[in-house]
A and B are shown apart, each in its own frame.
Chain A
Amino acid sequence: MDKLVIGGVKLESRLFIGTGKFPSKKIIPDVVKTSKSQVITMALRRVDINSKEENILEYIPKDCILLPNTSGARNAEEAVRIARLAKALGCGNWIKIEVISDNKYLLPDNYETIKATETLAKEGFIVLPYMSPDLIAAKRLVEAGAAAVMPLGAPIGTNRGLKTKELIQIMIDEIDLPIIVDAGIGKPSDAAEAMEMGAAAVLVNTAIATAGDPVKMAEAFRLAVEAGRLAYISKLGPEKKFAEASSPLTGFLNEGEK
C-alpha cells in the first residue's frame, strides 16, 4: 500500500488508534497488534509515569509513535503547557492538539487550536490539530505549521459516522496536508467511506474500545481502512447523480452532424 508521510516519517498504517475508554489497559497491546496501527494517541492527563502498573505507556509497543493529546486544555495556553510536559516526560515530539471549552458536546475550539499549533510548531513539535471541519480554519492551521489536520466526522464518542462529510471532502480537495478524520467514526464502514473520499488516515478510539471484542474490532477497522484506501487509489468510478435519459433533451444539438 502507498505510504503516508507525516513529519518526515513514512507510515504503513493509515489507522491511528486511541487508548482511552478500554475496559482494561492489558488488551491494548493486542489491539495494537490486530489494528497494525503505528500511531497511538493517549491523553497526557492519564499518563502516570510514577506507577509501572498504571502507566499507559507501558502498554504501548515501543516501535509505535506516541501521539499524546492535550485533552483537558481549555485554551491555547493550557494546550501548549500540556504539550511541553508531554515532551518532558519522554513522549516524543508529536502532539495532538485538543482544545475543548465545551464539555457538553466536546467540540473543539478552532481559534485556540490555531494559536496553540503556531506556538508548538515553532518549537519543533509535529503538530496534529483536532478541529471542527472548516476550510478557512484548516488553511490557518497549514499556515501555523500543522503536520496534518484532523477534522471530526461527528462529535467525539457519538459513533454517528461521517456527519460532516461535505465539509471534510472540501478540506481533502483544497488542503495540501494529510486530512485525518478523527472522532465520530462508529463502524468500519464509516472508516472505509472516509478513506474512499481521500482521507489520509482515520483515528478511532470509542468504536474499538467499547466494542464487545475490541481486539477483533481493531482488525475489522484495519481491513476497512485498507479497503477504503485501495478503492481511493484505484480511482472509484464517478457516481452518476442522474440516470442517463433515453430521450436526451439536448440531442437536437447533434442532429446536424448526422
Chain B
Amino acid sequence: MSFYSEYLKYKNFEFNKFLENITSSDIFRIINKDKIDEYDFLALLSNEAEKYLEEMAQKAHRLTIQSFGKTILLYTPLYLSNFCINRCSYCGFNIENKIKRKKLTFEEIEEEAKVISSTGLRHILILTGESRKETPVSYIIDAVKILKKYFDSISIEIYPLKEDEYREVIEAGVDGLTIYQEVYDEDIYDKVHIAGLKKNYRFRLNAPERACKARMRNVNIGALLGLNDWRKETFMTGLHAKYLQDKYSDVEVSVSLPRIRPHIGVYEDIYPVSDKNLVQIILALRLFLPRVGITISTRENQKLRDNLIPLGITKMSAGVSTEVGGHSSKTKSDSQFEISDKRSVIEMKEAISARGYQPVFKDWMHID
C-alpha cells in the first residue's frame, strides 16, 4: 500500500458538494474539538470557514506554541545546479527556457558554504534541477561531504531517488528531504509536466515514503499552490502528511506552502490563491496536524511573512538567492523564480525577535 491508494479514495470525491454544505455550526463544532478528522479538515478549507479565520487563528496559535514554543527555525537554500531535463510548464529551469545554466564546482560549493555559514545559519537545503547526468547522486554525496564541515543539518531538494539511494545520501550526512508533488491531481500533473522523467507521477508521489523507509529524519512535502484548486491540493497535502506521520512515526514531517511566483517563461493557467486563502490553508493544516512543521519561503513578501509567524509557521528561509552561485560567485546563473522577501539573515533574525519569537539557527547535529 502507498499513498496512491489514499489519493484514489478521493479522486472522484465530490469536493464542491461537500464544501458547499458546510455551515457555521459545523465550523464551530470543529474548532472546539480536540482532534479533528479529515472531513473536519476539509470543512475548515471551505468558503464558510473563511468567516471564522480569527477563531481558527487563535487555536492554531495556541497549538503551535504548545508543540514548538515561540521559536522559528531558520535555513537557507543553496542552489547547486540548474541543469534540468524536464519541461515543467511553471518553472524557470525548464529545459525549453533559454537561460544561463550552471553547476557549481566543489571549490565553488565550499565558497558558498563559507559565505552562508558566516551569517550564522546552520541548516541548509541543497537544490538541483533534475539531471542525473549533470548532478548524479555521487555529485550530491561529494557536495554533502563538503557542506558537513559548515552545517549541522543538510536537506536535499533534488530529483526523486530510489530507496537505497536515499540510504546512501543519509549515510553521507543528509538528514532532511524536501520534495513537492507540485500537484496531486493526476490529470493536471500530466498536463503541466510536458516532458521528462518527472512525468512519472507515482514515482514522485512515493518518494517521501521511500525516504521514510530509508530512515530520513525530516521529510517536507507540499503542493505548488496555483496549479489546481487550492482546497483540493491542501486537502491532499494534509492527508499525505498524516499518512507519513501515522506510518513512520519517528520521522518529523513538515509541509511547505509555495505559491507560484513569476519566472522566466510565464505559465498562464493559474488558479489564484489570495493571502487570505494562504492564511486559511495554514490554519486548517495546523488544526488538523498540530505537530507537523510548516515552512514559509521567501516567495512571500516581507509583510505577509511577518504576519504569518504567530499563525503556525515553524520554519522560514532567510538570506535567500535562487541563483546557482548566488551567494559568492560573480558569474551567477538565472534564477528559478523571483524571490519576494529579500531580507538578510540579520534582518530576518530581528524581525522574528520583534514578533516575540526566538529565531533558532541550530536544531540538529551530525551524531555519527
Contacts and interface: CB of A to CB of B under 8 A. Distances in A.
Interface of A: 20-25, 43-48, 51, 53-54, 72, 74, 78, 81-82, 85, 100-104, 106, 157-159, 206, 209-210
B70 A210 contact: yes
Given A54-B120, A101-B249, A45 B71 contact: no
Nearest to B361: A54
A21 B249 contact: no
Given A82-B367, A102-B250, A103-B250, A54 B66 contact: no
Nearest to B68: A21
5 contacts: A24-B356, A46-B363, A102-B250, A103-B251, A206-B69
Given A23-B357, A102-B250, 8 more contacts: A20-B69, A21-B69, A43-B363, A54-B120, A74-B250, A100-B250, A106-B291, A159-B66
Given A54-B120, A82-B367, A101 B250 contact: yes
B252 A103 contact: yes
Interface of B: 65-71, 120, 122, 152, 217, 245-246, 249-253, 291, 353, 356-358, 360-365, 367-368
A81 B367 contact: yes
Given A21-B68, A22-B70, A102 B249 contact: yes
Nearest to A18: B69
B364 A72 contact: yes
- From DSSP, what is the main secondary structure of chain A's interface residues? loop
B71 A104 contact: no
B350 to A, nearest CB: 12
A5 to B, nearest CB: 31
A102 B249 CA distance: 5
A104 B253 CA distance: 10
| 6 pairs of A and B residues whose beta carbons are closest in the complex | A21-B69, A23-B70, A101-B250, A48-B362, A102-B249, A74-B250
Nearest to A156: B67
B62 to A, nearest CB: 9
A61 B188 CA distance: 58
Contacts of A24: 353, 356, 358
A68 to B, nearest CB: 12
Nearest to B362: A48
Contacts of B66: 157-159, 206, 210
Most chain A CB atoms below 10 A, which of B66, B245, B252: B66
